[in-house]
Structure 1
Amino acid sequence: MTGPLSALRARPGRWQAQSSTSVGLLLVAPALVLVIGLVAYPLVSLVADTLRPEGRAALVAVLSGDASRRALLRTLWVSFEVTVLAVVLGAFMAWALCTVRGRLWRILLWIAVLAPFWMSVVVKNYAFVLILRQGGPLNRLLVALGLMDPRQSLLYTEGSVVVGMLYAMLPYAVLPLFATFSGVDRSLIGAAETLGAGRARAIVSVVLPLAARGIVSATTLVYVICLGFYVTPVVLGGPGTPFAATLIGSYLFEYFDMPGAKAFALVILLAALAAVVAGQALARVLPSGDPA
């Protein structure tokens, strides 16, 4: 083939649709520098410092101390509670977003899902302070119904922390589940109903197996984020319900115990890593979601 096109193809140094490896590395270099400097180096430094003699002693003290052990167990348990509630409620909201037909209802659901993203952490938590405090609207309602003593308060309890964390984590459960449910062929539900299954049974027996991997991924995401909550336990839980992140802050800013803070941070990091590994292992043995 001859002509201008062949001459352009034969010309050295011409433009190519695919960049060279050196150009690709140059473009990705800023991101690599940020990842190495802000993620990789701190993690390697954290592990290396904890493996030193003073770090190992601090790790033993953290794991054997009553306060740190209670904070760790409370963090793991409350994160588990919030994860279960967020995934269950998020599944209902995600399915409603996939199936609702009215435009107004869809808009309202999306506003409810995205509202926590539109508010800062401080605004969200202090809004719950006003709602849950003694003399607040929810407190007055429960007192009027005879379900609560007027001298009691819903604030500064483990339940208030669960509520605040749940509100913040719902979008992180709804959005992945919405993407998962959107990929499910809903005609399979009609086929199951044709074979005699009710709507609830059809959803449980058809949709959930196909969406199992997405549910596991959403669960892992929510649980890992919950492990690092700091502001919500401080504002809504108070000193009576310390979390791992708040105790790490105390190690740093009150006790000036850097080895203890690093040791406790490594424990939380290992707990998050264990959750991710368990989620990945479970996702491998679950159905892929392809009905074929």
Structure 2
Amino acid sequence: MTEFTELASLDLELAEGADATFQPRFTQAHADELNQRFAQVPAAQMLREVLTDVLPGQVSMVSSFGTESSVLLHLVAQADPAVPVLFIDTLRLFPETTRYRDQLVKLLGLTNVQTFEPLPEKLAEADPKYLLWSYNPDACCAVRKVEPLARALTGVDAWISGRKAFQAATRANIPLFEIADSRLKINPLARWTREDLVAYMEQYNLPHHPLEADGYLSIGCMPCTTPVRPGEDPRAGRWRGWDKTECGIHTPVKPGSEPVF
């Protein structure tokens, strides 16, 4: 019996009334087993099996409702529209993003979208003039994205991410399943290309983010997002001019460390 199968057995015991305080934690062995099992399985089938058979009721999804988000949200909704979808509203988002969120929630029939915002007291301390992005974008992301996501993931042992290898050189080798901060992170679209995404959206008549037509291929907060120029990585418009490629939510946290505001 593999470690992952043993974990599934423990989950069954919980469902039958075992110690409800038990909190399973995944290891690299679990990720390796899943990577092998689903290596050649289409994303839609993989998500159906993971959400309804392998880890039923144990997986959440994190979505920015940005460019290309409709594809993964559609795939998840087809498997289980009640999967918790965690959305971080940094309070600096484009209004087009929140409208796009509302449009997709209604269109796809998502029933469990949860919105998390920065803590008012943290914002008052770290960014009272809303200018932190202009001189310390790492600190701005920490208070507006990393800390809210940490709260959103409280009690969550497995979550779905929309990262794709083609988006940037720093994401070139992401696996389908990985371990991050003792959680299982699932990247269903890791090997999808931009052409795959466009074809899927056309096949299912999914709406594009309204800013995509203006050259915004990766959309975050208003102050730190610019259109992408021809030939650039899709994420080149994020934090332009800074030596920064990630907001921090996909950066492993060292044990005992906390974001510095």
Instruction: With the length of structure 2 as denominator, give the TM-score of the two structures.
Output: 0.21
The structure with higher relative contact order (CA 8 Å, sep 6+) is 1
Larger Rg: 1
Instruction: With the length of structure 1 as denominator, give the TM-score of the two structures.
Output: 0.20
- Greater share of helix residues, 1 or 2? 1
- Greater share of strand residues, 1 or 2? 2
